[in-house]
Amino acid sequence: MARTSFIAMMIFAYLNLITIPSYYAQPYLFPRPFLNPIFSGYRVFYDDANHHQPQPKIGNKNQKKNPKNTQKLVEGFYKNTCPNAEQIVANQVAEIVKTNPGAIAALIRLQFHDCFVGGCDASILLDSVASGDRVEKMSLANGQLLKGADLIDDIKSKLEEECPGIVSCADTLAFAAAESMTLGGLPPQPKLGGRKDGLSSLATNVEGNLPFPNWSMDQMLDLFKKKGFNAEDMVVLNGAHSVGSAHCNVFSNRLFDFRNTGASDPTLGLGVVDELKKICRDPRTVEARENPSVSFDETPTVLDNLLFKNIVEKKRALLATDQAMADDKRTAMFVRRLAEDPNLFPMKFGEVMSRMSSLGVLTGNQGEVRTTCRSTIL
């Protein structure tokens, strides 16, 4: 049982354990969190008229398109049917972040988990499906520590008050993630709309589509390549760890007993090991039950290049996969460039996230537009 619990905790690490920094005193405090008895042991495009608008601005032309798509994502998609949609989302995200700064990381992470498993169709938000199978959020890679679904509920309810049945949950999530990036310090992100909501969500589809914190660089690169991203894109997307935090129990084996050696991970800087040992208790001890979360870098609510600077200059990366990017010849040059140029990461991250938000989308007559993001209509 102990080994099972440890493995489960490790799975949560990669873009999975982005939480509110501990010094905000609310590390897991989101209203109405998703609770599932299975994990109780762990503490831890609706407006078809817009399709005919003249010469709409579309997403990245180099992005591989879903061959089933009948229309493309466009800016101003709800201009005629729900003119205030984007502003409503922006206002709601801003209000949420005032009291929950970690929502910036949670919403970005939530979209990653949605898009990398079957495309950006809001399937991550479903509590159940007609077949009765376990849904994506019940998988070990998501589970109780996946935050943000309740925040989308709140945003969606405001949209339903203004424009019932118009704005999809998939677009709501994409707009919220884009606004989170803006609040995190990036230039305003384009709000590409037109996604429909998927009808399927299976926990079994998650395995192999979300990375593990102990993966090799070969596994990491292979996964991102399958999703249409090259080595540089992968490094940039890993920059999502510029915001949020990871629980000590996810990485503390690197401090106390790396690969059962009884020593620390040699890829960690010695000063970093000393720093983190003052915060995290040995996972083999009872005291580890009280372990907190640790910010990925010193600016946990700002999307900046500090994560990369720390990796290069201090060898400080909480997750082994992050540090491995600086040590692998296929990715090291990109880590160094991002560390050296403070303007490069904000520019690159917005661009790659925009492409990611177009993965495998349903449009036109596909899917549905849910009025409640947790359950299907059809």
Q: Does 113 qualify as catalytic in the annotation? A: yes
Domain regions of the chain by residue span: 74-209+359-363, 217-353
The annotated binding site for Ca(2+) is made up of 114, 117, 119, 121, 123, 136, 297, 299, 304
Q: Long-range contacts for 8-11 (Cβ within 8 Å, ≥24 apart)?
A: 8/42, 8/140, 8/143, 9/42, 9/44, 9/247, 9/249, 9/250, 10/212, 10/213, 10/214, 10/250, 11/140, 11/141, 11/212, 11/213
Q: Binding site: what residues are annotated?
A: 114, 117, 119, 121, 123, 136, 211, 241, 297, 299, 304
Q: What is the pLDDT of residues 314-338, one digit of tens each?
A: 999 999 999 999 999 999 999 999 9
Q: Which of 51, 52, 113, 247 is catalytic?
A: 113
pLDDT tens, residue by residue, 256-275: 999 989 999 999 998 999 99
Residues 116-170 have pLDDT tens digits of 999 999 999 999 888 889 999 988 778 766 788 999 999 999 999 999 999 999 9
**Residues in binding site for substrate:** 211
Predicted TM-score (pTM) of this structure = 0.81
Can you read off the two tokens belonging to residue 162?
């203004």
- Interior CA angle at 286 toward 280 and 291, to 5°? 30
pLDDT, position 141: 78
User: What class, spelled out in words, does domain 74-209+359-363 have in CATH?
Assistant: mainly alpha
pLDDT, position 144: 61
CA dihedral 271, 219, 198, 244 (to 10 degrees): 0
Is domain 217-353 annotated with CATH 1.10.420.10?
yes
Predicted confidence (pLDDT) per residue in 193-223, tens digit:
999 999 999 999 998 999 888 889 999 999 9
Looking at every residue in the chain, the average pLDDT score rounds to 83
